[in-house]
Structure 1
Amino acid sequence: MATKCGSGFSFKRNPEEAAKEAYDTAMQAAGATQCDIVVLFSTIGYQHEVLLSTLASLSNGAKLVGCTGEGVISFDFINESPFALSVMVIQSDELTFNVTRVTNVKAGCEIAGKKLGETITPFISDKTMSIWIFPDHLSMNYDAFLTAFENNLSAKHHIPIFGGGSADNWQFKNMYQFINNEVLSDSVVCLVITGALSVASDITHGCIPIGLEREVTKSEGNIVYEIDNRKVTDVLQEYVPEEDVANWHKLGIRCLCLGLKAPESLQKVHDDYIIRAMPIVDFATGSGRVSTELKPGTKIHMISRNPEKLLPNAELMAENISKQLNGAQPKFVLQIDCAGRGKVLRTDEKMAIQNKLQSFTKTEVPWIGLYCYGEMGPVAGKNYFHNFTVIIAAFY
């Protein structure tokens, strides 16, 4: 049998009908009568409990993992409406799939990372080839979580981690994680894939530094209070109109972020900067929240999207993945994409970029993707948290 895989999507508003349409399409594409794992990405408008119960019934209780996103992606398909979902199904006798989760993440990201690492250690072997992670983005300090997670994983080899922070429709209020028949928040859900597969992956963004180097002068954990001894909110107004700062979660965050100088080893294979978004701005304190820790003294540049870089970078990314595949055909592809790029580009621009990203495969392949609030993927053998990026992982 080897591995059978298929993907499908729907933008029907009725959750039962949408789940059935996407699942049936995926199963037909896979040429399978049953599956071992269902991956589900959905936008925020559905009754998600109904989606999960419908998929559980259709799949005879197959394992399930996923989350909500600002938008969903499939092969030659993008949809950011409140009612859209994408499904991938896999049946395999050469792969095993294990899912688990950790809750109450906001109470302590380091504790949550440690617990999840310990929980999945029994699933880890020398053949474990990837881990997918989907957290509640509002709960996360990614540095604390990922460090504790990997330190407690008990893995003897590098395991590439792919994933994204679950999202909503730019309200930054409610975002959900899915595991089996549970709809969760303030959690991290996890899929462990073990077996005889390889992965070709790449990461790119379309950002440029603007202005002179600046310095974080006051911070606590992942809250930045001052840059160059000035309130963060005051500094932001140098770069974007005051009304955009006032509506930061809808306008400013889509265009402006922070750039940390990347280590030399990373610059050679990725970029000069590691991108950090600031999803929350608090006018009462003049502060901004990032998803990792920025200590006082950290040197930064303000970073802006440059849409003109996106298309050539997508083409280069496809070429890099094609070289890694070396003629092999992917069995399935995971795409983790920044929610912001979905909102700053027209539909035709997004599809042009998507076509470039998918150009490394000559025929349609099972493909599932998510527009999310933060991305995770490896660079040069080390797992990183990213912002404003697109990550492609082709499993072959």
Structure 2
Amino acid sequence: MRIIQASKIGNQDWNYFQEKTELKNPLVLVFGNRFLLEDTSIINAIRQEFPYENIVFGSTSGEILCCNVNDNSISITAIEFENGSYVVERENILDFDKNAKKLGEALYNKIPKENLKHLFVLSEGSFVNGSSLINGLENKIDLAVSITGGMCGDDARFEKTIASYKENPKEGEVILIGFYGDTLEISFASFGGWVPFGPERIITKSQANILYEIDGQPALDLYKKYLGDKAKELPQASLLYPLTVTPVGKNEPVVRTILKINNEDNSMTLAGDVPVNSRVQLMMASVDGIANGAHIAAEYAMKNRKNAPEIAILVSCIGRKLVMNQRVEEEIEQVREGIGEKIPMTGFYSYGEMAPFNGSTSCELHNQTMTLTLISE
């Protein structure tokens, strides 16, 4: 595996992290600020600097490269596989009447199945139901194939996210990358570090990822009551106080971030499904708790590996970034300490993370976690 990484901040020149050399048919991952990715001149400059066919673009809430977290930047990681291979497919949620499950099924059907080892998802993050997308992808999946990935971000604006494969970035895109080959070793993990507080309640009315009532009361009213003065800052304030949701029949809770609120019907739209009769509780976090959570994620991802990873893809939640503020790079340093100082790292801050629970193969949508995908060949 050969890797070339570069970043561009503002009007500065490209900053390369390895020697700039020509690669053979690399997978090029471009993570960047949404406004920069909407600038045609910047996209042209990226294509000129990295004149390759298979370029995947995604907007972020912060770019991760090496051990740095940048804002308003472009980060690029080009990966040349020497033994393994990859296939990239795309669909647009607007072509499926915003039905994420059908889109997921269509995407999985397009991906070749022979020697498929792992799937990585880069999804629109504003209005795709991440849980439904995963359900569609896993509807007919081989149990030996694992899924990780993330939902694109737009800083803390929640206006729109963009992504693309080969084309210029646009709204509604969902990208699926399939990794192939017996020589590939891919491990993953996801961990939060948030702590629940307050009484545990029951979801009494919901539809997919829209939450209407908790304990028979309007969900938004109850949530505002807990937030107090911070309720005026919704939905951004919800990133600091997400919900932990435990569906009936599940032992492991998932964390759900609120993407938008509706004051007319007192509902909240979350990043993934919130089934009726699920147990729900508010959560909060400290900087040290989040940093330690990132270290635990790294330990889990490294636990059963046979070989050292050659690239690490990090997807962390915008809520973690807001809590950590100027100390945000501490969680990246914790990952680096756990996986090895010399392992190239790339990734982004997201509106949702995708990975199985530790010890499981079935993918889940998470919020407020550090999610790692470690690859070697």
Q: Same fold (TM over 0.5)?
A: yes
Structure 2 residue corresponding to 1:257, chosen from 218, 242, 253: 242
Q: Is 1:189–2:178 an aligned residue pair?
A: no
Q: Give 1:27 shift.
A: 6.2
Structure 1 residue corresponding to 2:353, chosen from 369, 372, 375: 375
Q: Give 1:26 shift.
A: 5.5
**TM-score under structure 2 length normalisation:** 0.90
Distance 1:310 1:336 in 2: 14
Q: Is 1:232–2:219 an aligned residue pair?
A: yes
Residue identity (%): 17
Q: 1:61 to 1:315 in 2, by over 3 A?
A: closer
Secondary structure of the corresponding residue to residue 35 of structure 2: coil
The answer as to whether partners of 1:106 and 1:140 remain within 8 angstroms in 2 is no
Q: Give 1:325 shift.
A: 3.0
Q: 1:280 to 1:87 in 2, by over 3 A?
A: same
Q: How is 1:1-396 mapped onto 2 (pairs within 5 angstroms)?
A: 3-13=1-11, 21=14, 25=16, 28=19, 31-46=21-36, 47-80=38-71, 83-103=72-92, 104=94, 107-120=98-111, 123-125=112-114, 127-152=115-140, 155-195=141-181, 196-242=183-229, 244-250=230-236, 252-261=237-246, 272-326=252-306, 328-347=307-326, 349-379=327-357, 380-396=360-376
Q: 1:181 to 1:255 in 2, by over 3 A?
A: same
Secondary structure of the corresponding residue to residue 175 of structure 1: coil
Distance 2:373 2:248 in 1: 23
Distance 2:296 2:103 in 1: 37
The answer as to whether partners of 1:106 and 1:186 remain within 8 angstroms in 2 is no
Q: Give 1:285 shift.
A: 1.4
Q: Give 1:35 shift.
A: 4.2
The answer as to whether partners of 1:49 and 1:183 remain within 8 angstroms in 2 is no
Superposed CA RMSD = 2.3
The answer as to whether partners of 1:258 and 1:277 remain within 8 angstroms in 2 is yes
Deviations 1:318-355 (A, max 9, x none): 333333335x32211100000111111132x2222221
Deviations 1:3-52 (A, max 9, x none): 211322221247xx5xxx15xx26626x5444421001001231443343
Structure 1 gap ranges (5+): none
Instruction: Letter of the 1:365 partner, please give it.
Output: I
Distance 1:119 1:184 in 2: 21
Deviations 1:154-183 (A, max 9, x none): x43422212111111222112100211331
Deviations 1:117-171 (A, max 9, x none): 2122xx222x22221111111221222221122214xx43422212111111222
Q: Give 1:106 shift.
A: 5.3
Deviations 1:53-99 (A, max 9, x none): 3333333332011310010001121112xx21211111223122211
**TM-score under structure 1 length normalisation:** 0.86
Distance 2:89 2:156 in 1: 27
